[in-house]
Chain A
């Protein structure tokens, strides 16, 4: 009896291999995310949204009769780690790569994917960018296998300014403070570009080191001295939270217009000073009406918490992938990535916030955005506080869109 067990165990992998061979290769999606290190919290938020949507995709039957496999790799927060793990993922037979936490990492992945696809025709992979918002990814660096399923500095700032203007919270003097790398520089440019539309002048602008500064008091003193009515910023994580705390300590009255205020911990840590600050984000359950409430309830039932921060956009991104997969026929039992990428170019779904579709010209998704303000009468409270995000206005994909960048020269493979 005892001797039989090892034999049975040894037979198991063989049996599994036979089973998979008979069933043809299931599609493997790699989540190549920042799961350790200082920015792990962001990567884990993306992971939560992706897992939720992949489970939903598999519950609906997966692809080609088999569940889609989600494989997770930790890129350790840097482009070098991401490049290594991408090689591992490719060796593991992954065909779709997903990343969102960093524009620097996305820049690396999109280059690696482009080169891999040039060198390995017939074994292409696609890169689904669910959160890296640097403009160059759909500009100079745009390529056929990269798809951005989140906003960017231009669309976020455009609706943020419109929304704050509608709420009569936008003054005539704006201070732009951003992080000194591709995303922050894009934000600064967008804030300056939207001056006419918002009816303000940019009194001063600052670029500072990314997540290195602990003491924002000198920056707040500078903002205070400039006499600005509003502060517009693309800052995220500690750079946003510490700045809000420093603003409160110095008694700065200006309301903030932000993009990443909904990161967990921000509202509870900032406290009442967050009231009246604005955010342009992808999802607000209260703005989505009955469908929004259904999404929030379903998400909470499956994950144990309400969808916050980047989780909804990650889930919607995978919904777009699911839509493209649904319309992609298997070739010899496997996924043809070229056909999948062509299907992605015409992907279109309905989210609780409205219609969302892919723009083929530069692979930038056109998605509705919502401008919200922190208030005590919001329906969904966050961080265990009595505050939440009260929607001001939902902007449809058409209203939010900005033109494709001229620098993108999309090269499509011959069909």
Chain B
């Protein structure tokens, strides 16, 4: 029972973290049609900014500053790079962000070195929130989950309940009309891109302290974030949330399942045969935990190509 509870909680919180990173990606794609390959780079930038500033500002302000700075870099990228290649089509935008991700990674290596930097959870947040039996649950994880939830609610309210949200949403579908009504659509796009980058930066600044802040963190997270966005449906905020939680809980629970296909065969009396065949049949589910999201993506793409909550187009 304890194991299941911890498994669920671990999965949910990891899912929420995934959502924090992927929210910006799906937002940018939904609004601008730009598949931003450099998105995870903003996640990494947020972590490194916060790491650099934490001594001067303290942990909390450094996290906020890290997110804002990542957003600032995002605004610059949109205004001076993406906008220039926009009229060449999506392939150019994709290539631009792809190249950008390499430049960010190499710059980080040049400035901060190849190895993980010493960015840690501050001592006052570094303790257990509660314990069940011998197992403790870290306070910081709850904090990460809280930040992600807060972010989701604010973002949702902003998009659906405010005038800014109305303009942003209409700018996606009918940019010309919105422009004719006197709104600055270019500014809206820059704003959306900056917010998306800032959200990724926030996730990086928060998660970098708990996991590791290294030049590889963009590569490691980037792939999974794309899986989340594809599974949830490109452009759907709710879908990203659903997919993140699904992937988080699934990988977490799979770790505690030491079962293989052979056990399934054993139910019908063919267990010995399956064991003798070996290979895929005796592979434990727990050893495949990190691969499951990709299997999920494959299934979703086959059965529902637009993603769980995506719109058909």
Contact = CB atoms under 8 A, between A and B. Distances in A.
Given A40-B114, A218-B7, A251-B128, A208 B210 contact: no
A335 B114 CA distance: 37
B255 A218 contact: yes
B134 interface: yes
Interface string A240-282: 0110010001110000000000011110110100000000000
Interface stretch (B85-93, B176-184, B212-220): B212-220
Contact of B118 (A227, A245, A250, A383): A383
Contact of B287 (A44, A204, A209, A215): A209
B289 A209 contact: yes
A249 B140 contact: yes
Nearest to B252: A218
B211 A206 contact: no
B290 interface: yes
A250 B115 contact: no
Where chain B touches its partner, the secondary structure class is helix
B252 A212 contact: no
Given A219-B255, A238-B214, A265 B117 contact: yes
A208 B290 contact: yes
B138 A249 contact: yes
A272 to B, nearest CB: 10
Contacts of A218: 7, 10-11, 251-253, 255-256, 289
B210 A249 contact: yes
Enumerate the 6 nearest inter-chain pairs by beta-carbon distance, A residue then B residue, closest first.
Answer: A265-B115, A251-B136, A41-B114, A209-B290, A249-B138, A218-B255
B118 A208 contact: no
Interface of A: 38, 40-41, 44, 180, 204, 206-209, 211-215, 217-219, 221-222, 224-225, 227, 238, 241-242, 245, 249-251, 263-266, 268-269, 271, 383-384
A265 B117 CA distance: 6
Interface of B: 2-3, 6-7, 10-11, 14, 17, 109, 114-120, 126, 128, 131, 134-138, 140-141, 210-212, 214, 216, 219-221, 224, 248, 251-253, 255-256, 258, 284, 286-291
Contacts, number: 119
21 contacts: A38-B216, A41-B115, A180-B287, A208-B255, A208-B286, A214-B220, A215-B211, A218-B7, A218-B252, A218-B255, A221-B3, A221-B256, A222-B3, A238-B214, A238-B220, A249-B140, A250-B135, A251-B131, A265-B115, A265-B212, A268-B118
A224 B116 contact: no
A135 B309 CA distance: 48
Nearest to A40: B114
Given A38-B216, A269-B117, 4 more contacts: A208-B286, A212-B291, A214-B224, A215-B17
Contact of B116 (A204, A206, A222, A265): A265
Contacts of A266: 116
A218 B116 CA distance: 23
A238 B217 CA distance: 10
A242 B208 CA distance: 11
B291 A217 contact: no
A269 B141 CA distance: 18
Given A208-B287, A251-B128, A214 B118 contact: no
B128 to A, nearest CB: 6
A207 B7 CA distance: 18
Given A218-B10, A222-B255, A249 B212 contact: no
Contact of A217 (B10, B118, B290): B10
A221 B10 contact: yes
A213 B212 CA distance: 12
A221 B135 contact: yes
B135 A217 contact: no
B114 A44 contact: yes
A217 B221 CA distance: 16
A215 B17 CA distance: 10
Contacts of A383: 118
